[in-house]
């Protein structure tokens, strides 16, 4: 198998690969290529982020896909299509577009979200966007593209039909079947069935809920449930949800109005989404809400507070409220807090910490296990079966999910009689046509860490060092020598993240000083004139003595300075 993204065929091929999203929930970045192996034209579908998972990624804000393969193919990129405005599909666009510099195709709501992010962060100001209508059909290079509106938990989610000389692919994006989605357009079964009648070579399909039986409830049912809960609550009602879920925002607004309450919004991301939703017509022009600064002036029984932080994000409004750190908002015993979302895998610990803090505060907690306050935006097995029945593909490639989700979707497709099912993971290239569908190549994949204002590769740099610091601490020593190798001043040693004493109660700092003194005496005066030799000898000595006393090898840094003496 080739390792350079060029495959093995000599004639034109239609291929699929992912830089993210196959084997994980998040960081979706999918590639379609057409043409001979040495001269393919590429179409990118989505370019999203994922979030760090606790101790493994200390100091990392978000994680982006490594696009070095696409950078080598930059001249052959026909475009980037964004299926919807969730961060795991759109979050990397502004930062990575300068490396790709290709046309970006978006629908109006997604364009509004990108423009809002540009204004907030100052990135991507020169990025050209081609705003296309919902359900439109257009060309991007050699690709004949049609957008198909589907229901999801953000407005204007679109499946993507790719018509090529080698066959038609339907890339589902995130979707569910919801005849009454509260806002936006539902998927049209007749249109999907007509696509199946036309003939679909391959279905690349969302797998997130492939392990769950049945069908998802409607967003309209959630709105009715929220209205009832708010009407019956004696004190404040707090709702935390995904900021991009405009239908849930609208449901909270209408629940507040119906019960004579006022909607208060806390969290910059929610303000941004509300503004874009008003501009694009998904919320009414007279949509009224109060900023968090008005919270303290309102009676408990007249507030519905909508806030960010449903996934336990430490800097979001919900986390600050739970830790008594929010400058404007505080809760009291008896207030009701609704977690109107499901935990993304990896976020359970952070969410649990916030919920426990709220319970200790005296608040009541409701989750989607307790009441109908959230529905998924992804298809369960019953919905997947309907999609397979409409599209009737020859090939299925599961996407968007961890390994267990992809395999569950693959097994379901086989049970429904799909002839060719090819589960693949990030970096594996699948040839869809001509000939039998199979993996033919690997493309380079990896992760980029947003570390403050910088993007750094996962395998190198400060994040790797911080991981080690978290486990073993650091010892720093400074030694000043004359040019003859004589000690000019007393050495200085600092310990950070290292125990104060060993098991016998002896000072770890004293052990370090003794090691420095002994090692310096053991080096002949003539050899002390070599600062590099002295530095390495002292580093090894410090590391060894701390390891002997503690059982761990800390990071050791030794600075040897050489000065002139008279």
Q: Would 108 be classed as within a structural domain?
A: yes
- Name all contacts of 270-275 with Cβ < 8 Å and 24+ positions apart: 270/243, 270/306, 270/307, 270/308, 272/113, 272/116, 272/117, 272/120, 272/243, 273/113, 273/243, 273/244, 273/246, 273/249, 274/249, 275/116
> Can you give the pLDDT at residue 530?
92
> Can you give the pLDDT at residue 9?
55
Is 170:200 a contact under the CB 8 Å cutoff?
yes
Query: Are 234 and 251 members of one domain?
Result: yes
Give CA 451 to chain center in angstroms: 14
Q: What share of the chain is helix, strand, coil (3-state, %, to 5)?
A: 35, 25, 40
Query: Are 176 and 313 members of one domain?
Result: no
Q: What angle separates helix 531-550 from helix 508-522, to the nearest 10 degrees?
A: 140
Domain boundary among 408, 428, 457: 457
273-283 core/surface letters (b: 16 or more CB in 10 A; e: else): bbebbbebebb
CATH number of 499's domain: 3.10.20.580
Query: Are 352 and 254 members of one domain?
Result: yes
Q: Structural domain of residue 425, as residue ranges? A: 13-214+376-457
The residues facing 171 across adjacent strands are 160, 204
d(CA 442, CA 2): 7
The closest alpha carbon to 134, from 111, 118, 113, belongs to 111
Query: Are 354 and 316 members of one domain?
Result: yes
C-alpha torsion 256→261→267→272, nearest 10: 60
Query: Are 306 and 414 members of one domain?
Result: no
d(CA 74, CA 41): 10
Is 445:498 a contact under the CB 8 Å cutoff?
no
Q: Would 4 be classed as within a structural domain?
A: no
Q: Would 514 be classed as within a structural domain?
A: yes
Domain boundary among 333, 366, 399: 366
List of residues 6+ apart from 382 with CB closer than 8 A: 213, 214, 215
Q: Would 272 be classed as within a structural domain?
A: yes
Instruction: Note the helical H segments in 416-530.
Output: 462-472, 508-522
CATH number of 199's domain: 3.60.15.10
> Can you give the pLDDT at residue 231?
97
Query: Are 231 and 349 members of one domain?
Result: yes
DSSP 300: G
> Can you give the pLDDT at residue 1?
46
Q: Would 180 be classed as within a structural domain?
A: yes
Query: Are 63 and 114 members of one domain?
Result: yes
Query: Are 52 and 155 members of one domain?
Result: yes
Across the 566 residues of the chain, what is the mean pLDDT of every consecutive 10-residue run? 57 96 94 95 97 73 93 96 96 94 97 90 77 97 96 96 97 95 87 97 97 94 97 97 95 96 95 96 94 94 95 90 94 96 83 95 95 95 97 98 97 97 98 97 93 80 80 93 88 94 93 93 90 94 94 94 83
d(CA 445, CA 80): 18
Query: Are 444 and 302 members of one domain?
Result: no
Query: Are 491 and 444 members of one domain?
Result: no
Instruction: Kindly give the pairing relationship between strand 158-164 and strand 143-149.
Output: antiparallel
Q: Would 463 be classed as within a structural domain?
A: no
> Can you give the pLDDT at residue 125?
63
Domain boundary among 366, 395, 415: 366
Query: Are 246 and 333 members of one domain?
Result: yes
The closest alpha carbon to 384, from 217, 159, 212, 221, belongs to 212
Query: Are 64 and 146 members of one domain?
Result: yes
The closest alpha carbon to 454, from 95, 108, 38, 92, belongs to 95
Residue 509, φ and ψ in degrees, nearest 5: -65, -40
Give CA 560 to chain center in angstroms: 43
DSSP secondary structure letters along 153-209: SSTT-EEEEEEETTEEEEE--S-B--S--SSSPPP-HHHHHHHHHH--SEEEEE-TT
Q: What is the count of structural domains for the chain?
A: 3
CATH number of 348's domain: 3.40.50.10710
The closest alpha carbon to 473, from 495, 456, 489, 488, belongs to 495
């Amino acid at each position: 198998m080739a390792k350079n993204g060029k495959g093995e065929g000599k004639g034109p091929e239609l291929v699929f690969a992912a830089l993210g999203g196959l084997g994980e929930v998040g960081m979706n970045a999918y590639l379609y290529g057409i043409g001979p192996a040495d001269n393919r034209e590429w179409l990118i579908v989505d370019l999203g982020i994922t979030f760090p998972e606790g101790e493994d990624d200390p100091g990392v804000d978000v994680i982006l896909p490594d696009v070095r393969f696409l950078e080598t193919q930059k001249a052959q990129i026909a475009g980037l299509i964004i299926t919807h405005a969730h961060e795991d599909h759109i979050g990397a666009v502004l930062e990575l577009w300068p490396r790709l510099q290709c046309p970006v195709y978006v629908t109006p709501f997604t364009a509004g979200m990108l423009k809002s992010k540009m204004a907030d962060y100052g990135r991507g100001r020169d990025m050209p966007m081609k705003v296309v209508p919902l359900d439109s059909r257009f060309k991007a290079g050699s690709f004949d593209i049609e957008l198909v509106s589907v229901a999801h938990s953000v407005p204007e989610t679109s499946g993507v039909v790719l018509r090529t000389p080698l066959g038609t692919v339907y890339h589902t994006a995130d979707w569910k079947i919801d005849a009454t989605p509260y806002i936006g357009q539902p998927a049209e079964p007749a249109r999907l069935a007509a696509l199946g009648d036309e003939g679909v070579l391959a279905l690349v399909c969302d797998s997130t809920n492939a392990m769950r039986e049945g069908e998802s409830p409607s967003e309209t049912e959630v709105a009715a449930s929220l209205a009832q809960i708010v009407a019956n609550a004696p004190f404040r009602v707090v709702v935390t949800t995904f900021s991009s879920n405009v239908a849930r925002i609208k449901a909270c607004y209408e629940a507040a109005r119906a019960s004579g309450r006022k909607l208060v919004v806390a969290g910059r991301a929610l303000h941004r989404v509300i503004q874009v939703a008003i501009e694009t017509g998904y919320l009414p022009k007279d949509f009224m809400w109060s900023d968090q600064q008005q919270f303290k002036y309102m009676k408990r029984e007249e507030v519905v507070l909508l806030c960010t932080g449903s996934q336990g994000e430490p800097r979001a409004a919900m986390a600050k409220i739970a830790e008594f750190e929010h400058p404007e908002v505080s809760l009291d015993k008896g207030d009701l807090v609704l977690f109107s979302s499901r935990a993304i895998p990896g976020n359970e610990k952070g969410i649990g910490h916030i919920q426990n803090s709220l319970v200790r505060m005296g608040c009541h907690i409701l989750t989607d296990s307790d009441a109908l306050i959230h529905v998924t935006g992804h298809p369960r097995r019953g919905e997947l079966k309907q999609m397979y029945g409409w599209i009737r593909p020859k090939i299925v490639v599961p996407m968007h999910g961890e390994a267990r989700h992809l395999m569950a979707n693959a097994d379901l497709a086989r049970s429904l009689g799909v002839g060719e099912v090819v589960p693949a993971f990030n970096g594996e290239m699948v040839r869809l046509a001509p000939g039998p569908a199979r993996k033919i190549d690997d493309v380079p994949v990896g992760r980029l860490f947003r570390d403050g204002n910088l993007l750094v590769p996962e395998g190198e740099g400060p994040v790797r060092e911080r991981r080690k610091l978290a486990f073993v601490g650091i010892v720093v020593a400074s030694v000043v020598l004359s040019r003859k190798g004589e000690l000019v001043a007393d050495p200085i040693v600092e310990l950070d993240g290292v125990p104060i004493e060993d098991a016998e109660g002896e000072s770890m700092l004293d052990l370090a000083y003794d090691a420095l003194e002994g090692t310096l005496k053991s080096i002949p005066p003539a050899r002390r004139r070599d600062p590099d030799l002295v530095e390495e000898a002292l580093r090894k000595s410090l590391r060894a003595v701390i390891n002997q006393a503690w059982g761990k090898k800390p990071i050791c840094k030794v600075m040897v300075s050489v000065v002139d003496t008279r």
